[in-house]
Amino acid sequence: MNLSFNVLDETAAGGRRAQLVLPHQTVETPVFMPVGTAGTVKGVSQDVLESLGAQIILGNTYHLYLRPGHEAIRRMGGLHRFISWPQAMLTDSGGFQVYSLAKLRKVSEEGVHFRSHLDGSSHFFTPEHAMDVQIALGADIAMAFDECTEYPADRERARESLQLTMSWAQRSLDHFRAHRNEVVWHEEYGRTQSLFGIVQGGVYGDLRRECAERLVEMEFDGYAIGGLSVGEPREVTLEVIANLLPLLPKDRPRYVMGVGYPDEIEQYARMGVDMMDCVIPTRAARHGLLFTSEGRMNIKNKQYAEDLSPPDPSCDCMVCRRYSRAYLRHLMQAKEPLGGTLNSIHNLAFYLRIMRRVGAELRAGAVDVTTQSAQASPTSQ
Ligand SMILES: [Zn+2]
């Protein structure tokens, strides 16, 4: 195996704490993974991410494929070396970005034709090609190429999309198995990348189940739940996750993609989700929204103009220890890039701390997980 996953503690409600051993890093789960879209977690340098305790970050295959190009990254020793991030990384399949960013996309059984959102140039992604790109990038974890079903989608459309995802999952896996040892750091580490399958199926429980069972038969290294947080009500997201978790193998990592707000990641971690990623903490930060122990705070509000207190008095991050609400507000008003950076650092610190706290609570096993998750809110501590 190229990863090992050791469950250390479990609770009656299904929450678990584990060690995910990857070639570049042993990751303590549950873990939140900051999103480094184009080889950078926007506005936050790698040394700061390390000091915040980030263990694994994401890279976006679509963005890196278009610029600077996966072959260029391979020639430079892979993504870890190129961006100077020696710890763990995961690349997405490119599917989601193709669907959300690319222009004039055309999907067929074979793959997806699309035009770059950067220069309109024409590209064709197949599951095999998506694997080649991710092997060139060389993250510890690669993702199967899938079609993210839009919301809302009627049953027929969801089924059609699901068939494509399942067929592409098998093709991704076959190609990945044949080529995974071509990753540039294979010799150095003696191990190589892992591949996760992605469960789709929209909001339809039976389609989700069918997809999960099919993917488990294929034996991926880990399993992700995709196609969530695309506009569906939150109760639906929760229901899809709750129904799927028991269907996924207990000895493999489970990853819910693209969620969520602080109370959501806490809730899902307590239910037994091991890995999550989301752009919310950094995207919200660039718009002046801070997540704090007292709830959400729009730092641009006039009430903070001369407020010299720390952004979050209960936070010990490098921003809250040093700067005031008034200064952060001023930076946003003046459109200074440091504003988005400092806000992002605080929000990431807040997210990462939630996961450490939940991990510690799962370890102690002293919490009534069911009650806590039902009542969790952004302000709960
Ligand atoms: Zn802070």
Ligand 1 centroid from CA 190, angstroms: 39
User: Which pLDDT belongs to residue 381?
Assistant: 36
User: Which residues crowd ion ligand 1, with CB under 5 Å?
Assistant: 312, 315, 317, 319-320, 346
296 and 235, same domain (yes or no): no
Instruction: Inform me whether the pLDDT recorded for 192 exceeds 70.
Output: yes
Name which of 78-82, 252-256, 334-338, 372-376 the model is least confident about.
372-376
Task: Please tell me whether residues 17 and 62 are part of one structural domain.
Answer: yes
| C-alpha span between 148 and 200 (Å, rounded) | 7
Q: How far is the C-alpha of 372 from the C-alpha of 193, rounded, in Å?
A: 36
Give the lowest-confidence range in 50-54, 81-85, 266-270, 362-366: 362-366
More confident residue, 18 or 97: 18
Residue 82 CA, ligand 1 centroid: distance in Å? 29
Crossing angle of the two packed helices 127-137 and 155-179, in degrees rounded to 10: 50
Cβ pair 35, 52 in contact under 8 A: no
Please, which residues have CB within 8 angstroms of residue 70's CB and are 6 or more apart in sequence?
Answer: 61, 64, 132, 133, 136, 137
Residue-level pLDDT at 310: 98
Confidence at 250, pLDDT banded by 50, 70, 90: very high
Domain membership flag for residue 352:
no
> Do 324 and 194 fall within a single domain?
no
What's the confidence (pLDDT) of residue 378? 41
Is 357 domain-assigned?
no
Q: How confident is the model at residue 83 (pLDDT cuts 50, 70, 90)?
A: very high
Ligand 1 center to 54 CA (angstroms): 15
33-50 per-position pLDDT tens digit: 999 999 999 999 999 999
What's the pLDDT band for 361 if we cut at 50, 70, 90?
very high
Among 92-101, 122-131, 186-195, 305-314, the least confident range: 92-101
When pLDDT is cut at 50, 70 and 90, the band that residue 369 belongs to is: very low
pLDDT tier at 129, thresholds 50, 70, 90: very high
CATH value at residue 202: 3.20.20.105
67 to 35, 39, 71: CA distances (angstroms): 17, 10, 10
Does the pLDDT of residue 379 top 80, yes or no?
Answer: no
**Is 206 in the active site?**
no
The pLDDT value recorded for residue 273 is: 98
Residue 321 Cα, ligand 1 centroid: separation in angstroms? Answer: 7
Provide the whole-model pTM: 0.94
> Is there a catalytic annotation at residue 92?
yes
Query: Both 122 and 45 in a single domain?
Result: yes
**pLDDT at residue 148 in the model:** 85
| Statement to judge: residues 209 and 293 lie in one domain | no
Residue 368 has pLDDT above 90, yes or no: no
Q: Is residue 232 part of a domain?
A: yes
Work out how many domains the chain is built from and give that number.
2
Is the pLDDT at 298 greater than 80, yes or no?
yes
pLDDT band per the 50, 70, 90 thresholds, residue 189: very high
* Cα 6 to averaged position of ligand 1 atoms, centre (Å): 31
Residues 218 and 320 in one domain: no
Mean pLDDT of 92-102: 83
Q: Are residues 59 and 179 in the same domain?
A: yes
pLDDT at 305 over 80: yes
pLDDT at 100: 81
Distance from residue 351's CA to the centre of ligand 1 (Å): 10
Does 263 lie in the same domain as 188? yes
Residue 227's pLDDT is 92
Please tell me the predicted confidence (pLDDT) of residue 94: 87
Query: Per the domain annotation, does 124 fall within a domain?
Result: yes
Tell me, yes or no, whether 220 and 200 share the same domain.
Answer: yes
Q: Does any domain span residue 369?
A: no
User: Does 42 share its domain with 174?
Assistant: yes
pLDDT of residue 336: 98
Phi then psi for residue 114, to 5 deg, are -150, 160
Do 236 and 317 lie in one domain? The reply is: no
Q: Is the pLDDT of residue 224 over 50?
A: yes
Ligand 1 mean position to 325 CA, how many Å?
Answer: 11
User: What band does 80 get if pLDDT is binned at 50, 70 and 90?
Assistant: very high
d(CA 328, ligand 1 centre) in Å: 12
* pLDDT at position 372: 44
Q: What's the domain range around 321?
A: 289-344
Residues 227 and 330 in one domain: no
Report the chain's mean pLDDT, rounded to a whole number. Answer: 94
Of 92, 132, 140, 263, the catalytic one is: 92
Is 362 part of any domain?
A: no
Answer with the one of 259, 278, 297 that is the final residue of a domain.
Answer: 278
Query: Would 365 be classed as within a structural domain?
Result: no
Question: Is 63 a residue whose pLDDT tops 50?
Answer: yes
What's the confidence (pLDDT) of residue 27?
98
Going from the Cα of 53 to the center of ligand 1, the distance in angstroms, rounded, reads 14
140, 146, 277, 312: which is the annotated catalytic residue?
A: 277
Higher pLDDT, 96 or 41: 41
Q: Write the CB contacts of 20 (distance below 8 Å, at least 6 apart in sequence).
A: 3, 4, 5, 26, 27, 28, 29, 31, 253, 274, 275
Residue 356 lies inside a defined structural domain of this protein: no
Is the pLDDT assigned to residue 270 strictly greater than 70?
yes
